[in-house]
Amino acid sequence: MTDPTPVTPELLHELVLLASRSPSPHNTQPWSPRVVDGGIEVAIVPSRTLPAGDPTFRDVIMSLGAWIESVSIGAAEVGYAIDVEVLPALSQLDSLPVRGPADADRPVFRVTLTPTSPDAASAAGAAQLPDAAFAPGTFSSDDVRERRVYRGALVGRPDVFSNLDSLQLPPWLSVRSLDDRAMRQLSTLGIAFTASRATIANELLHWLRLDPRHPRYGLDGMTDEMLVMPRPLARIAAPFTRTARLRDPVVALAGPVARFLEGLGRDAPLPTGVPDEPGAPTHHVLVANSRAAGIDDILSITEAMDSRIGVTEPHALEAGRVLQRLWLHAHRQGVAISPHSELIDSPAAHGALRKRLGLSRSDVALSVFSAGVAQARQVPRSPRLTDSSTQ
Ligand SMILES: Cc1cc2nc3c(=O)[nH]c(=O)nc-3n(C[C@H](O)[C@H](O)[C@H](O)COP(=O)(O)O)c2cc1C
């Protein structure tokens, strides 16, 4: 047997570029990867976290998990498996500053590659990720590049999430379904929560790019096109997202109105026994069971409680990998995803969601998303910081 050819920096850079297409909250792209000897170390960029909207780092960590899954998919195409070493800094995010650049000396995980086939070396030498045929349940780098979120009208395809066997979810993760009526009501409640908290609303507005003249329009954040906003409305709204003088009074005015609506919504019972309309999007909740995850000894319970997510950070990272697989699974079948984190972020919506799903104390809802066929000729592509590099 010949020694495997070492993994080249070119291949690692290629994988980093591919993984930059991973989803992240508000398209913040909170990862800062660094190619090191034989592997990739990733640190978190403090200024790309969401201290108001994601104080527990749940969504940041899940997006890092999606990033890892993207690397894994690209690496598998050229015959490598990945090893992920979770580093202590992942469980010490409370000490992360709220702004500023990544600290390369505090990576949160390290990825290394091990060859799985004799062809690995030659494929890696080309440093290109070729198209390949894959078994069901596995994905290609094209899937990673082409997957996208769609926030417009979706027509549900209930079959897509009815059998997830091929995705090999770990036993402590499950995907529950939520009915359309409950989803709509809880989403409204969640949006009212976001709008009524000035810090969360301001943070969201900071990541909106509603006009192509925004200096970061092609780099990060959410554009008018991604939000499926009519252009005239986007152009009127754009200055309010950028100038504090305009933004602050609007946020201040929206607060009490949203708080009033939130009060109304909190007291409204969820309708029961109403079947979904034909064609309604389907809605799904990724749930972790902390007991099944083995978080039942005193030490790990303490870790899970310290993490504030409800599961330990390494578990949240793993859940992010699964989330990416779920979204790619949908993409493979022509179905787009529309995430709705507001159902978890708003305590009132979260409580009602838990009740609706009959979650137990050891269950933790990590992600809520809708799925369906996008009713659009073209689903807009979200920008990335790496877009100037060839992809
Ligand atoms: C953990 C996580 C939570 C997210 N939550 C939301 C959400 O609540 N609402 C939303 O519209 N998009 C949400 N997104 C989607 C991102 O906004 C989206 O991935 C990003 O804008 C990039 O777009 P793309 O996925 O189409 O490439 C979430 C993504 C991740 C990874």
Ligand 1 and 339: CB distance under 6 A: yes
Ligand 1 and 151: CB distance under 6 A: yes
Model confidence pLDDT, tens digit, residues 174-218: 999 999 999 999 999 999 999 999 999 999 999 999 999 999 999
At 24, which amino acid appears? S
| Interatomic CA distance for residues 309 and 311, integer angstroms | 6
Residue 131 has a pLDDT of 39
Ligand 1 and 66: CB distance under 6 A: yes
- C-alpha 339 – ligand 1 centre gap (Å): 6
For range 353-374, the mean pLDDT: 97
Model confidence pLDDT, tens digit, residues 57-72: 999 999 999 999 999 9
At 133, which amino acid appears? A
Residue 127 has a pLDDT of 43
- C-alpha 159 – ligand 1 centre gap (Å): 23
Ligand 1 and 79: CB distance under 6 A: no
| Interatomic CA distance for residues 307 and 15, integer angstroms | 29
* Three-state SS annotation for the chain: CCCCCCCCHHHHHHHHHHHCCCCCHHHCCCEEEEEECCEEEEEECHHHCCCCCCCCCHHHHHHHHHHHHHHHHHHHHCCEEEEEEECHHHHCHHHCCCCCCCCCCCCCEEEEEEECCCCHHHHHHHCCCCCCCCCCCCCCHHHHHHCCECCCCEECCHHHHCCCHHHCCCCCEEEEEECHHHHHHHHHHHHHHHHHCHHHHHHHHHCEECCCCCCCCCCCCEECCCCCCCHHHHHHHHHHHHCHHHHHHHHHHHHHHHHHHHHHHHHCCCCCCCCCCCCCCEEEEEEEECCCCCCCCHHHHHHHHHHCCCCCHHHHHHHHHHHHHHHHHHHHCCCEEEECCHHHHCHHHHHHHHHHHCCCCCEEEEEEEEEEEECCCCCCCCCCCCCCCCC
Whole-number percent of the chain with pLDDT over 90: 84
Which carries the bigger pLDDT value, residue 251 or residue 130? Answer: 251
Report all structural domains of the chain as residue ranges with CATH numbers, in order of start: 9-146 (3.40.109), 154-374 (3.40.109)
Average pLDDT score, the chain:
91
Q: How many CA atoms lie within 13 A of 285 on its CB side?
A: 26
| Interatomic CA distance for residues 181 and 179, integer angstroms | 6
Token pair listed for 339: 């995430």
Model confidence pLDDT, tens digit, residues 292-319: 888 666 666 666 666 789 999 999 999 9
Residue 138 has a pLDDT of 86
For range 150-163, the mean pLDDT: 97
Ligand 1 and 341: CB distance under 6 A: yes
- C-alpha 222 – ligand 1 centre gap (Å): 9
pLDDT at 113 over 70: yes
Residue 301 has a pLDDT of 67
Which carries the bigger pLDDT value, residue 119 or residue 357? Answer: 357
Ligand 1 and 59: CB distance under 6 A: yes
Ligand 1 and 222: CB distance under 6 A: yes
Q: Which region among 157-161, 259-263, 368-372 has the lowest average model confidence (pLDDT)?
A: 259-263
For range 162-168, the mean pLDDT: 92
Residue 119 has a pLDDT of 58
Model confidence pLDDT, tens digit, residues 237-274: 999 999 999 999 999 999 999 999 999 998 899 999 89
| Interatomic CA distance for residues 211 and 213, integer angstroms | 5
> Under 8 Å CB-to-CB from 59, ≥6 apart: which residues?
24, 25, 50, 53, 341
**Shortest CA distance to 357 belongs to which of 371, 343, 336, 373?**
343
* Residues pairing with 374 in the sheet: 154
Residue 390 has a pLDDT of 54
pLDDT at 126 over 60: no
Instruction: For ligand 1, atom 16, name the residue with the nearest CA.
Output: 25
Q: Which atom of ligand 1 is nearest to the CA of 342?
A: 8
